[in-house]
Amino acid sequence: MSITKEDVKYIAALARIDVPEDKLEGFTKTLGDIVHYVEQLQKLNVDNVKPTSHAVPVGNVLRPDVIKPSFTNQEALAIAVEAKDGSFKVPLVIE
Amino acid sequence: MSLHQLTAHDLLDVFKSRQATPKEAYDAVLERIKAVDPKVKAYVRLAQHKPEFKGEFQIPIAIKDILCIKGEETTCASRILKGFISPYDSGVTQRVKKSGGTILGIVNMDEFAFGSSCETSCYGPTYNPWDLKCVPGGSSGGSAASVAADEAMWALGSDTGGSIRQPASFCGIVGLKPTYGRVSRYGLIAFASSLDQIGPLTKDVRDCALLMNIISGYDDRDSTSVNEPVPDYTKALVNDVRGLKIGIPKEAFVDGLDAQVRRSVEEALDLLKKLGAIVKEVSLPHTPYAVATYYIVATAEASSNLARFDGVRYGLRALPSRIRKNALVDMYEETRSKGFGDEAKRRIMLGTYALSSGYYDAYYLRGQKVRTLIKNDLDEVFKDCDVIMTPTSPTVAFKVGEKISDPISMYLSDIYTIPANLAGIPAISIPCGFSKSGLPIGLQLMGKAFDEEMLLRVSYTYEQNTQWHTMKPKI
């Protein structure tokens, strides 16, 4: 399984990253090398092996539903790139 | 000895006997930073907020740029987070402050902890105090270099695949990755949530135990934090390994392992044997697949975690000069393209690929299954061993620039450290010698889940019978 420039463009679009033409070749090569490297896992028989998503088994963790102090609107917006009327502001999406 | 050269526990003695105040110690370390950091470049910025000098453990500490500190800029060494002033404290910095810890500043790392050399930082590299032409390791390279150069008494780092242990090894200090869930990850900027763990980088094993006492424990703000009682880790500092069983995996001593590293680790093993430990050859047949497994599991989790950096709320926002798709998507793409460095982009794309439709079963699901096999190997060995010993890294510190253009050779630097993250078990790196060129060598001990005490006991015994931890670099 090799990675083509078209694959990289497709993955980049999924990841919301814009890869300029002059970087495409480099990313295609390094990503191809890594995918080739991880393909060694195909050699192993994993039939009947359960996947591990967490080394320490954790299920749903519940806590009592108690109201605690949290950020004020002002504190939360203090880090905003742009804010208006108590909200984060983004570029106009719909005319 | 000058104040900045002391270990944290020696400094506590100095405070007790009133030979110096915590403020004097803090200022002495700041002076040291001024003197040597222009060469080492461990710090990315000094703390804006000066400490209150109150509390039991007023030890000058360096914090990795991945841990949120209230009122301080936290950037993960990435352009995308420049200007982000954290409105809250992480669980560990809260504990450090409460204990009296005096925060000196924020130290360098690979961008988003993606790297083993500290070279992918947007601030440029940190240099190894033992040889300024070499890397300090990574990703917690700034943490390790600051401690090794006496620019901090101790430091906090984070470890997803070896990011505490490998730099500790490269810089000749002690670094511990605790059991997954032992230390709260609240306020740690996430790389791979099922693997990340915060831990101490210290000048010796006693300091490691002391800092573990400060940072360990349950936190209901991290749902993966484990509610197990925390022992007094200094009680584990017993100079005795008689009858303890040390497993030596035969897979660890293969091609690619530097001859000098091998010899140092074998000599350490001989010493522990002389001190009464029982050495047993064991097998971890799936560990050769650990790096491949890791680069699927970790990048998949990273691609999801880093989706939050989009220019909407905080950090960088970049807009293209003309509309490409639509205003919002353009903002995401422009922000992420300008904000992330190449290695971050590479890992996000790799993780996106492993999770994408058509490849999920072949890559991500298979990776998780091999993770089970690696964990089973370790569980099996721990039925009859107290610790497993390996080198920490196959080589000593390499030259700046040597591996940066070859991702796979960089990734292989973590071949010994990755299995502990995949299995969630604790592991420590301690100094065990020097190469002919004068670079430190580290050995790794892995332990059973929540048995950090055993790692500390074996490490302490080794340290009490050697002098490596007392050596200082000339900068």
Do B43 and B99 share a structural domain? Answer: yes
Between A14, A54, A78, which is nearest B87 by CB? Answer: A78
Contacts 24+ apart (CB under 8 A), A69-75: A71/B87, A71/B88, A75/B87
Kindly report whether the peptide bond that precedes residue B139 is cis, defined as omega within 30 degrees of 0. Answer: yes
Nearest of B100, B167, B179 to residue B140 by alpha carbon: B167
Residues B86, B188 within the same domain:
yes
Closest CA to B180 of B460, B454, B447, B458: B447
Predicted confidence (pLDDT) per residue in A6-62, tens digit: 999 999 999 999 999 999 999 999 999 999 999 999 999 999 999 999 888 777 888
Of A11, A31, A41, the CB nearest to B293: A41
B177 touches B199 (CB < 8 A): yes
Residues B335 and B430 in one domain: no
Q: Which of B183, B186, B166 is nearest to B175 (CA)?
A: B166
Are residues B128 and B58 both part of a single domain?
yes
Mean pLDDT confidence for A87-95:
86
**Do residues B61 and B104 lie in contact, with contact meaning Cβ atoms separated by under 8 Å?**
yes
d(CA B51, CA B25): 12
Å between B327 CA and nearest CA of chain A: 6
Q: What is the mean pLDDT of residues B325-346?
A: 95
CB nearest to B353's CB, from A11, A71, A75: A11
B84 at interface of A, judged by CB pairs closer than 8 A: yes
Residue among B87, B356, B366 minimizing CB distance to A14: B356
Residue B322: exposed, middle, or buried by beta-carbon count in 10 A (0-12, 13-18, 19+)? exposed
CATH number at residue B444: 3.90.1300.10
Looking at the fold, whether B45 and B166 belong to one and the same domain comes out as yes
What pTM was estimated for this model as a whole? 0.97
| Active-site residue set of B | 64, 139, 163
Domain co-membership, B178 together with B48: yes
Residues 6+ apart with CB under 8 A from B381: B247, B249, B282, B283, B284, B388
pLDDT surpasses 70 at A82? yes
Mutate one of B227, B289, B303, B313 to test the A interface: name it (highest A CB count within 10 A).
Answer: B313
Q: How many CB pairs under 8 A join A and B?
A: 163
Domain shared by B168 and B72, yes or no = yes
Cα–Cα distance, B234 to B231 (Å, whole number): 9
Alpha-helical runs (H) found in chain A: 5-14, 21-38, 73-77
Query: B418-445: string of b/e by CB count within 10 Å (b at 16+)?
Result: bbbbbbbbbbbbbbbbbbeeebbbbbbb
ipTM at complex level: 0.95
- The band of A92, judged by pLDDT with boundaries at 50, 70 and 90, is confident
Is B179 within a domain? yes
Q: For B76, phi and psi rounded to 5 degrees?
A: 55, 30
Do B48 and B95 fall within a single domain? yes
Q: What is the pLDDT of residue B299?
A: 98
Answer whether residue B229 is part of any domain.
Answer: yes
Give the gap in angstroms from C-alpha A84 to the nearest C-alpha of chain B: 12
Residues in a beta bridge with B63: B106, B156
pLDDT in tens, B63-100: 999 999 999 999 999 999 999 999 999 999 999 999 99
**Number of structural domains in chain B:** 2
Residue B227 counted as domain residue: yes
User: CA nearest B418: which of B305, B284, B303?
Assistant: B284
CB atoms within 10 A of CB B185: 24
Q: Are residue B76 and residue B114 in the same domain, yes or no?
A: yes
Q: Are residues B388 and B362 in the same domain?
A: no
Strand partners, B107: B43, B64
Task: Using pLDDT thresholds of 50, 70 and 90, give the confidence band for residue A1.
Answer: low
Whether B216 and B299 share a structural domain? no
Domain that holds residue B182: 3-244+384-470
Q: Where among B308, B337, B366 does a domain terminate?
A: B366
Q: Which 214-233 residues of chain B touch chain A by CB within 8 A?
A: 220, 223-224, 226
Number of Cβ within 10 Å of residue B39's Cβ equals 12
Token pair 């950037």 is found at: B75
Element (H, E) at B93: helix B91-99
Secondary structure (3-state) at B160: coil
The minimum CA-CA distance between B210 and chain A, rounded to whole Å, is 25
For residue A78, CA distances in Å to B8, B48, B336 come to: 36, 17, 22
* Position B268 in a domain: no
Place of tokens 């480099």: A26
Q: In A, which residues are within 8 Å of B223 by CB distance? A: 58, 61
Report pLDDT digits (tens) over B54-68: 999 999 999 999 999
Q: Are residues B239 and B300 in the same domain?
A: no
Strand B197-202 relative to strand B174-177, pairing: antiparallel
| Closest C-alpha among A29, A39, A4 to residue B362 | A39
CA distance B443 to chain A (A): 24
Degrees, nearest 5: CA angle B183-B374-A59: 50
> Do the chains contact at A17 and B336, CB–CB below 8 Å?
yes
Average pLDDT over every residue of B146-155: 98
